[in-house]
Structures are given as C-alpha cells and as structure tokens.
C-alpha cells in the first residue's frame, strides 16, 4: 500500500468518526484556546400562562358585571363604561385575539379533526358567552365583545332600516357562518379571522385592504349601527338563536308596558318589535294554510340550494392547501412550463409520496362535497324560515325587545317612563 493511500484512508476514517461525533456538521465547531465564551441563543418565552387565565377571569368578570348592570341596574351609562373597558382590554390591549367570534372555528376544527386539540381558553371563550346568553340574553354583545364595542362608539346618527331590508341583510351572517364552519371543518382556512375588519385597528398594524374595509364599516356604523354585528357576525347567529330561548332577558319596561310609543325609535338596531294591531290577527285557517305551504316550500328550497352548492364543491375545495397542492402537481405533469411553483418544490424536498397526498386530497374533496350539500341545505332552510317570518306575523299588543336580535345595550330603557 502506498503511503499516500494510507494517509488518505486514515484521513477518511478520522473524518468519519468526527462526522459521527458532530452529527451532520460539515464544519465542526473549533476548540478555542483564547478563553472565548460562546454566547447563548436567546429564546424569549411566550406570554405566561397566568395571563391566559387572567383573560378568562376578565371575560367572566366583565360578563357577570354587565349582565347585572343590564338586568338589575338597568343603566345604559354603566353598560357603556363596561363596553369601553372591554374595548380597551380585549381590543387594544389583547389586540383582538383571542375572541369568541373566531373561536367558533377552532371549536369546529377540533370537533371534526381529532388530531387538533383546542386549548382550554379557546373552549372557554366559545362556551361562556353562549351560556350567559342562554340565561340572560346577548349581554356579551352589549359590551364585552371588542368588535361590537368599536362599532357602538361610532353609532352617532343611526337611521332605522325597513324590516324587510333588515331580514334580507340578516341572511348574510348565516351564509358566513355556514362557510366558516365548512372551511374550518375541512381544516382549510379560518375565514372569520382572515376577514376580521377591526383587528387591524387593535394591532395598529394591518394591510391597506384591512384598514380600508374596517374604515368603511366604521363609517357605515355612524348611520347604520353595528353593521358587522347585525349583518356579518357568524357568532352572532349562534347567540341570536340561543338568546331566543333565554331564561331572563332585558325588557323595555320593568313592569307592564303602557304602549306610550316613547321607545319606538330608540333602538338603533331595529330590535324592538312593535304591537301589530288587531288587523294583523290572522284567522287560524289562513295560518294553517301558510304553514302547509311552507312545509312544502322549505324542503324544496333546501334541496335546490344543496344541489346548487354541491355543484361548486371543487372550487370551494381549492381553498384547502392539500387539494390545491395535489391539483398543482397534477397540472404540472401535463404542462411544459419550466417554472415550478414553490409549493411543489417544497413538497418534493419533503420526500412525501404523491400517492399519499392524492389520497388525502380525495378524502378532503369528498368532505367538501358532503359539506357543500349541508351548506346549501342550511342556506335553503334559513331562506325559507326568513320568508315564513316575513309573512307570518305573530299577534302582539306590547312593545318588546326582539330576543333574537336585541344586543341588550339598554338604550331603550332610558326612554321608558315606567320606572318601577
């Protein structure tokens, strides 16, 4: 054996040992003899867990306080100051995250995807406002939600909307909720957080589009009070439905209504139901006919909407990362283009197999197909019920708050002359 080969061999063996010692390091760390102290990599810890529980305590505290102020004290002024506090704390201090509006997506994701475990705070922020609403009405909306609060302070010149306009625009939150649930359940996207218009103000930092949309909504809220809450908020849909069956709810008059009409225009949200008058007392045979009609129309609407939505499941599914990636890989095989998208490069370097990805994408596509049927059906149902509500007017004699749409802001209370 030549000397040079021997040296080479020794070098090779030692380098192999060194390689093993230092793992994959190409350039082993030198041994310094001049007393050099290696600096530490500074790893800043995230916000301490204590503060998360503090947030929860603030939520429960402010909800309890505002509920007491609304139902027992009946004081608009006090409600306003709690609202300002929530705006400062949950809005500007906590920067709008974590909020119950977004948490409904986390809950959906956790329910449909067992591998995602939702932290306790996420669960609590979703459930606690619902529980309060079940017992006391939408006191959360009145002054704990930072998104509601920022619009409420701008409600300076509210105009009242026609009830049919309100019902029609009131359909949007249901559609938004349906879409949010669909995209969260398929682990595709959190659209409510993505298009949250006010979070940019809370962070003092956002893209131009976000500021523009938020600014427009705030401008609108000068004239149409709380546009996001009434015509967009998906969590508001849940609170609306739950609040209809609430045990206690804010009443305009503390005792019997004297129908003095003073509160008639006091609600900027159009949530006061006026007395219908005797002429609206429909005979029961007409009501039965209408009921039968709607029993036929609503399933038909559901089927039509479901079928229509199911036609578009593929374009909906493109929102999902895996489906998008699988489609891009399929397309890149057919096209001659030299430019390879980053996603494909990343996927190839990850070493995962295409077959597995295609299988996963197929499962997600099937979920979207089913999900779109449900989404369409849900929208059809909501359309039908809204239609029914517009034609079947319940007979009423008093001015009362609409338990569904009322935010329990207690504005109307100040207008009521009945004080005992």
Contact set with other proteins (CB under 8 A): 23-30, 32-34, 36, 38-41, 43-47, 49, 52, 95, 97-99, 102-103, 105-107, 110-111, 114, 116-121, 123, 127, 130-131, 134, 189-190, 193-194, 203, 205-207, 242, 245-247, 321, 341-343, 345-347, 349-350
**Closer residue to other proteins (CB): 25 or 391:** 25
**Closer residue to other proteins (CB): 79 or 242:** 242
Q: For the CB of residue 224, give the shortest distance to other proteins in the complex, in Å.
A: 27
Q: For the CB of residue 58, give the shortest distance to other proteins in the complex, in Å.
A: 16
**Closer residue to other proteins (CB): 261 or 348:** 348
Q: For the CB of residue 120, give the shortest distance to other proteins in the complex, in Å.
A: 5
The answer to whether the CB of 369 falls within 8 A of the CB of 314 is no
| Long-range contacts of the stretch 14-21 (C-beta < 8 A, 24+) | none
Q: Which of 260-295 are b and which e, b meaning 16 or more Cβ less than 10 Å from the residue's Cβ?
A: eebbeeebbbbbbbeeeeeeeebeeeeeeeeeeebe
Q: For the CB of residue 42, give the shortest distance to other proteins in the complex, in Å.
A: 8
Q: Report the half-sphere exposure of 245 (CA within 13 A, side-chain side).
A: 6
The answer to whether the CB of 72 falls within 8 A of the CB of 138 is no
**Closer residue to other proteins (CB): 88 or 159:** 88
Q: For the CB of residue 360, give the shortest distance to other proteins in the complex, in Å.
A: 12
**Closer residue to other proteins (CB): 161 or 242:** 242
Q: For the CB of residue 135, give the shortest distance to other proteins in the complex, in Å.
A: 9
- 399 Cβ contact list (under 8 Å, min separation 6): 252, 253, 257, 259, 261, 263, 264, 272, 273, 274, 275
Instruction: Compute the C-alpha angle 102/362/175, nearest 5°.
Output: 35
| Alpha carbon distance 232, 216 (integer Å) | 14
| Alpha carbon distance 137, 274 (integer Å) | 19
**Closer residue to other proteins (CB): 296 or 356:** 356
């Amino acid at each position: 054996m030549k000397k040079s080969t021997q040296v080479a061999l020794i070098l090779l063996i030692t380098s192999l040992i060194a390689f093993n010692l230092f793992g994959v390091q190409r350039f082993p760390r030198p041994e310094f003899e001049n007393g050099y102290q290696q600096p530490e990599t500074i790893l800043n810890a995230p916000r301490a867990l204590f503060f998360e529980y503090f947030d929860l305590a603030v939520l429960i505290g402010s909800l309890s306080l505002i509920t007491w102020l609304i139902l027992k004290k009946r004081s608009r002024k006090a409600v306003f100051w709690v609202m300002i506090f929530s705006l400062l704390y949950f809005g500007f201090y906590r920067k709008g995250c974590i909020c119950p509006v977004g948490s409904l997506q986390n809950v959906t994701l956790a329910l449909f995807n067992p591998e995602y475990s939702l932290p306790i705070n996420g669960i609590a922020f979703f459930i606690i406002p619902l529980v309060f609403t079940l017992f006391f009405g939408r006191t959360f909306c009145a002054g704990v939600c930072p998104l509601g609060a920022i619009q409420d302070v701008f409600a300076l010149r509210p105009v009242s909307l026609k009830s049919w306009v309100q019902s029609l625009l009131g359909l949007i939150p249901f559609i938004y909720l349906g879409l949010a649930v669909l995209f969260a359940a398929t682990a595709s996207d959190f659209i409510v957080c993505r298009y949250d218009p006010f979070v940019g103000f809370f962070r003092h930092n956002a893209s131009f589009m976000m500021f523009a949309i938020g600014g427009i909504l705030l401008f609108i809220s000068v004239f149409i009070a709380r546009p996001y809450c009434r015509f967009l908020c998906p969590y508001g849909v849940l609170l609306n439905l739950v609040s209809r069956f609430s045990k206690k709810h804010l009443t305009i008059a503390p005792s019997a209504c004297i129908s003095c009409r003073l509160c008639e225009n006091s609600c900027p949200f159009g949530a006061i139901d006026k007395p219908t008058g005797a002429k609206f007392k429909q005979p029961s045979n007409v009501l039965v006919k209408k009921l039968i009609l709607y029993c036929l129309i609503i399933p038909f609407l559901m089927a039509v909407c479901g079928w229509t939505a199911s036609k578009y499941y593929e374009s909906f599914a493109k929102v999902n990362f895996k489906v998008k990636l699988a489609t891009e890989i399929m397309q890149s095989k057919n096209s001659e283009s030299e430019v390879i998208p980053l996603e494909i490069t990343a996927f190839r370097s990850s070493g995962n197999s295409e077959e597995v990805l295609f299988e996963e994408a197929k499962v997600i596509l099937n979920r979207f197909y089913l999900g779109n049927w449900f989404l369409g059906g849900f929208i059809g149902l909501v359309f039908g019920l809204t239609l029914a509500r517009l034609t079947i007017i319940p007979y009423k004699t008093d001015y009362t708050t609409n338990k569904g749409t009322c935010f329990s802001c207690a504005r109307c209370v100040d207008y009521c002359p009945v004080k005992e």
